[in-house]
Every structure is written in structure tokens, then in C-alpha cells.
Chains A and B, each alone.
Chain A
Amino acid sequence: MSERTATRGTATLPARVTTPLLTLITQQSLDEDYETVARRRSVVVDPQAGTAPGDYAHVARRAGGVTGRVGRTSLAIALLFGLLIGVAVVQNSRNAPVRNATREELVTRINERHTQLATYQSRIATLRDDNGKLSSSYADLGSQLRATTSSVNALGEVTGFRQVSDAGLRIVVKDADGSSSGEVRDSDLNNLVNALWQSGASAISINGQRVTALSQPRNSGSVVRINDVSLSSPYVIHALGKPSDLQSRVFDTTSGAEFLSVVQQFGMPLSVQNVSDLTAPAAPNALLSLPYATTGDAADSIQEEQP
């Protein structure tokens, strides 16, 4: 059944339909036009000539060299073909370095970027480590700063370089009227201050001038000076501390008794009051720079050790 169909198919269909493509291409590799033209010529020259393919050659030759001649147009085409090849070669060789260079350049660039990226990444890791260390040291410093600040504040309250407010005693003493010997002198105020310290005062100020370890009431002529500031009568002394304790003890001490006897002897007006809210201002910062001692460093101590 199928064989019969195939036989009928081959019988009816033309050869160039049934021939496989590759075979067809191989068979018709020569342009059919050459054969057609040759056949037409041979028919013109000799109508009795054979028609089988491949016979045209001798037919054509018999026709007297009409074919097989290379004309000027063919020469022009050959020239054109040569030109085409030359141009293609030139163009290709012109483009080749560009293509190769571009590729190599890209590869180089990629490698460079990879290296750069690795560098950056390691740098990021390093910086992150550093960041961690620095932030932990920052936290340490912060807690250190808080501790130092609170200790500075505590020390400032004790040493007198920070304003404090508390309950306490307000003592006002004035120069006695009349003779100059009735004026309050530095020794009187010193006695009073010492008596107050002994009675447990935490901070003392005279006329708004804080009494510190470095400040002492001193007479300059007839004027009493403290913290390089001149004072004048009436002298208002703020002594911070527990008022009842201060008041009961201050005139029992030796220096307190001495002060009291001077006051009574010259008739200086004296008043002592318990006050629930007193303020002792901070001492001037000028006092903080010590007049004789300077901060040294390791080099100074080495120099001193090796004279």
C-alpha cells in the first residue's frame, strides 16, 4: 500500500521536489544559466545537438568559441571582487585590535575592580572593628566622665569652688562706733571662721566671698580683704551646716570664745540668726591656679632625676 503510494508519488512529482536538499544543492552547484545560455546557443548553431547535461561544452566549442571568452565586464567584476576582498581584509585587521583591546581592557578593569572591592571590604571590616573598639572606649570614657564630674562636684562643694545652698547660720558683725580700735580686724574674722569650721560648718562665705583653703581674711591697712576683694562693715557671714549644732557649739570653742570676748570688749554689734535656706557662692576660679606649683610631665621628672 505504502510502496504503491511512494511509487505513484515519485512518478508524478518532479525530480527537484523529491531530491534531498543537500543533493540538490550539490547537483545544481553550477548556475543553471550557463547551461541554459549554452543550450540556447547550441540550438541556434546546431538544432540536432544532444540535450544531455555536459554536452554543451563540445557543442559550444563546435560553435566556434562564442563562449569561454572573458569580456571586459568580467574583468570589471573580477576587479570589484578583488576590491571587496581587500576592503574586507583591511576592515577586519583594523577592527581586530580594537575588539581584542576592548576585551582585554574590560577583563583588566574587572580584575582591578575586584581587587579594589576586596580592599574596600577588608577596610570596611577593619573600620567596623575600630568602630566597635572606639564606641566601647567612648562608653568607658562617658562613665569615666560621669564619675569624674560627680567627684568634681563633690570636691567643688567641699573645697568651695561650687555654689552650695543649705540651712545654716547667718552672723552679722559690725564695726563698733567711735575709735578705730573698735573696727573688726582680720584676726577676729579668722577666729570666727575657725570656730565655725570646728563647729562642723560645711561651707562659709563672708560678704558673698567664699572661704576656701586658699583664702584667709587679711588686713590691708584698716581694710579686711579676702579672695583679693575688700570687705567693709557690716560683715555678713554665712555658715552652712546644721543650725542648732552650729549655734550651740560655735562660741564654746576656744577661737569662738576669743572672738566673742573681743566683740563684747569693743561693743561691736553682733547678731546670729538661724536661716533655713542660705547660699554660699563659688570661689573665684582665679584661685584654682596654684601660685607656686605647676603641672609637670614625665620629661620634667626625668630631667630632675638626672641633673
Chain B
Amino acid sequence: MIAALGLVVGIVLGLIFRPEVPVGLQPYLPIAIVAALDAVFGALRAYLDGIFDDKVFVISFLSNVVIAAGIVWLGDKLGVGGQLSTGIVVVLGIRIFSNVAAIRRHLFHA
């Protein structure tokens, strides 16, 4: 509950202050969000499984974001940025879907 509150407060802060993202970082923002989304759903599932751990969540979140953005950055340097970001979105998308399926089973027992 308190985490959801944090999320909402974060969104509101972002919408209010409208910070300017440097042009160089702009292409990596969407992929970082997809990676973060994976970490968040994983954490939610772990929470419902009863094995949530603060430190693991923080580390998985930060490493997901950094690695996803880093891979895309490297891909951009090699000229395959588009393909690599597609690959990341596919893998993370599958993970998100299966995590959400597990969460659903927990919540609705179905």
C-alpha cells in the first residue's frame, strides 16, 4: 500500500515539475521504464508469494534499468539499437506477462 502511494507521489511529482530529460538520454527512457516495470511486477509477485525482500527488489530494479539502457546504448553505438531494444522488450514483456499471471492466480485464486 505504502509502495503504491510512493508510485503515485512519484508520478505526480514528475507531472508537476516536468523535469527536462537530456537529449542524449531520451531514447533510453522508455526501455528503462519497461525494465523497471518488470522489476516492479516481479517484486509484487514475490510479495504475494511471501518471499519479498527489500534489498533484492532495489538491486533488481536498479540493475534491470541500467542493463536495459546500457544494452540499447551499446546497440546504438553498433548500429543495431532498434533490434536490441526490440529483443529487450520481447523478453521483459514475456516476464511481465507471466508475473502478472502469477499475481492474478494469487489475487483471484484462478
Interface residues in chain A, defined as those with a beta carbon under 8 Å from any beta carbon in chain B: 22, 25-26, 29-31, 33-35, 37-38, 54, 56-58, 60-61, 67-71, 73-91, 94
Q: List 8 A-B contacts (CB under 8 A).
A: A30-B46, A56-B50, A60-B51, A74-B54, A78-B3, A79-B7, A83-B13, A84-B10
Chain A residue with the shortest CB-CB distance to B53: A37
Q: Is the CB of B10 within 8 A of A82?
A: yes
Q: Point out the residues of chain B lying under 8 angstroms from A68, CB to CB.
A: 47, 50-52
B9-53, CB under 8 A of A: which get 1 and which 0? Answer: 111111100110100001001101100100110110111011111
Residues on the B chain within 8 Å of A74, using CB: 3, 43, 54, 57-58
Asked if A29 and B10 make an inter-chain contact with CB atoms under 8 angstroms apart, the answer reads no
Check B11–A82 contact: CB distance below 8 A. yes
Cβ A83 vs Cβ B91 within 8 A: no
Question: Can you list the 7 inter-chain pairs with the closest CB atoms, starting with the nearest?
Answer: A86-B14, A82-B10, A78-B6, A71-B54, A29-B98, A38-B51, A57-B50
Q: B interface vs A, CB < 8 Å? A: 2-4, 6-15, 18-19, 21, 26, 29-30, 32-33, 36, 39-40, 42-43, 45-47, 49-62, 91, 94-96, 98-99, 102
SS class, residues of chain B in contact with chain A: helix
Expressed in whole angstroms, the Cα–Cα distance for A60 and B53 within the complex equals 11
**A-B pairs with CB below 8 Å: how many?**
155
Residue among A26, A31, A38, A89 with max Cβ neighbours from chain B (10 Å): A31
Least Cβ–Cβ distance between A221 and chain B, in angstroms: 107
- In addition to A31-B42, A86-B10, A91-B21, 20 A-B residue pairs with Cβ atoms within 8 Å of each other are A30-B102, A31-B56, A31-B60, A33-B60, A34-B46, A34-B52, A57-B49, A61-B50, A68-B51, A73-B54, A74-B54, A78-B4, A79-B13, A80-B61, A81-B40, A82-B8, A89-B15, A90-B14, A90-B15, A94-B18
Whether A70 contacts B51 by the Cβ 8 Å rule is no
A26, B10: Cβ atoms closer than 8 Å = no
Max chain B C-beta neighbours (<10 A), residue from A26, A73, A83: A83
Q: How far is the CB of B85 from chain A (nearest CB, A)?
A: 14
Cα distance, A30 to B95, chains bound together (Å): 8
In the assembled complex, the Cα of A80 lies from the Cα of B45 at a distance in Å of: 19
Task: Report chain A residues within 8 Å CB of B94.
Answer: 22, 25-26, 29
Q: In the docked arrangement, what's the CA distance between A81 and B61, Å? A: 9
